[in-house]
Copies of this chain bind each other. A is one copy, B any other.
Amino acid sequence: MTMKPSIPKGTRDFSPAEMAKRNYIFDTIREVFRLFGYNPIETPAMENLSTLMGKYGEEGDKLLFKILNSGDFLRGADMKLIEEGNCPKLAPQLCEKGLRYDLTVPFARYVVQHRAELQLPFKRFQIQPVWRADRPQKGRYREFYQCDADVVGSDSLLNEVELVQLIDEVFRRLKIRITLKLNNRKVLAGIAELIGAPDRLIDITVAIDKIDKVGIENVNAELLERGLSQEAVDKLQPILAIGGTLEERLSHLEDLLAESETGSLGVRELREVTEGANRLGLDAELDLDVSLARGLNYYTGTIIEVKAKDVAIGSITGGGRYDNLTGVFGMSGLSGVGISFGADRIYDVLNTLDLYPDDTRTATQVMFVNFGAAEAAASLKMIKELRAAGIACEIYPDAAKMKKQMAYANATAVPFVAMVGETEMAEGKMALKNMATGEQVTVTPAEAAAMIR
């Protein structure tokens, strides 16, 4: 007996209805990327494992999907490792390639590999799936899409201003109300200096990044656990408690960090980005969040995170500036800044709020009923005319019972049904029924095209 087939856990099939919704999101993001002067690239699903390993930390290495070498994959394998059952060390001997884990490392690899052909600054976008061998759970998949835009080869904060505008425009079009949180790695460094622990920046950011999730008490406990002094933790409190308007908080932070050159520079950068973006007008609410570090350690300047106001779902977009992304591939001194839209979370937000336009399901617009060979032939001629006018049509392929054909029309939610019987054939017309209103008219293909459009 054959088992009902399935797909690997953490992966998904997308039906036509789901595809229509997802394409609405991708098309919106893609169009805004284009308007902002970003150009598409694509990289292979498989990268050399040497490109991927060591770029996402030890945990990340474990989450890489590795591809078994073809043919005699045991050739290069160390039998001792097999006997010991040392899978982590054995895997790279059996596998030369792995699946893309994100779009950032492949982009860095792309820039270095193609540097001779690239015109800097290089603005690229990339919308492709990535794969992670994570434990699947609600909202977390093993295959999911990322939508990234980055510019490399320019230090200008104008890039940040533009990216904030870009994010605002995407969510304005998607009708999702957002809070756009900003921080700056230099501010975090300034804070570390201020509390007398300049070498503990990583410990501090890892701990305070969790403030929204676990609260200030737990953050303080973790800081002490990580070896910070009580005095340092005490000094940190007024900074984490800064309140007021964006301008008030920037001024307050400026005063608190006046002693730190790096910290002051960070505040100036934040001010330039927020003022530049606000000057042009934003739908999004801009927010300064000094606890924002986004876990990642490669950001060196601006840090960006977006949350939906009306759905509790975590970050739906994030990004920042990195000053040495391509350094691991032997090309240093190239500064970049970029953002990544989380398509799957945005999909969940749109589903929760039901924010899709009414015409999102853009399938067939007219289904022709099939009354037999002669009528079908006449229908096909009219269909050809309608298609030339850009209208998606189909004819029911079999001369089945009317009831069956109409059941198909209803199930596929076709907005119009056309019937070409003997009378209509003689007149070169069709009976066109609007499935929503029930209204029916007898029209020529040209008239039908005008009505449907």
Contacts and interface: CB of A to CB of B under 8 A. Distances in A.
Interface of A: 1-8, 11-16, 19-20, 23, 34-37, 39-48, 51, 62-63, 65-68, 70-74, 82, 85, 87, 90-91, 94-97, 99, 109-110, 112-114, 117, 119, 121, 123-124, 129, 131, 133, 142-143, 151, 154-156, 158-159, 161-162, 165, 169, 276, 279-281, 328-330, 362-364, 367, 370, 376-377, 380-381, 384, 387, 390-398, 408, 411-412
A46 B380 contact: no
B119 A412 contact: yes
Given A8-B97, A113-B6, A397 B87 contact: no
A275 to B, nearest CB: 10
B67 A41 contact: no
A258 B397 CA distance: 29
Contact of A42 (B14, B46, B155): B14
A14 B35 contact: no
Given A36-B387, A165-B384, 16 more contacts: A5-B51, A8-B47, A11-B45, A14-B41, A19-B42, A35-B387, A39-B363, A45-B143, A65-B68, A66-B68, A67-B67, A119-B408, A121-B396, A121-B398, A154-B397, A158-B398
**This chain's copy number in the assembly:** 2
23 contacts: A3-B330, A7-B109, A8-B48, A8-B97, A13-B41, A13-B114, A14-B42, A14-B43, A20-B40, A34-B362, A35-B390, A39-B364, A46-B142, A66-B68, A67-B68, A68-B68, A68-B91, A82-B82, A123-B394, A151-B397, A155-B398, A158-B376, A279-B380
A94 to B, nearest CB: 6
Contacts of A112: 4-5
Contacts of A46: 7-8, 11, 65, 131, 142-143
Contacts of A44: 7-8, 11-13, 143
A439 B52 CA distance: 49
Nearest to A329: B5
Given A7-B43, A68-B66, A143-B44, A276 B377 contact: yes
B48 A73 contact: no
A367 B165 CA distance: 17
Contact of A74 (B37, B51, B82, B384): B82
Contacts of A395: 158, 162
A359 to B, nearest CB: 13
Nearest to A134: B70
B158 A5 contact: no
Contact of A19 (B40, B51, B70): B40
B73 A91 contact: yes
A301 to B, nearest CB: 14
B85 A74 contact: yes
A73 B87 contact: yes
A14 B110 CA distance: 10
A131 B395 CA distance: 35
Nearest to A157: B397
Contact of A397 (B121, B165, B363): B121
A122 to B, nearest CB: 9
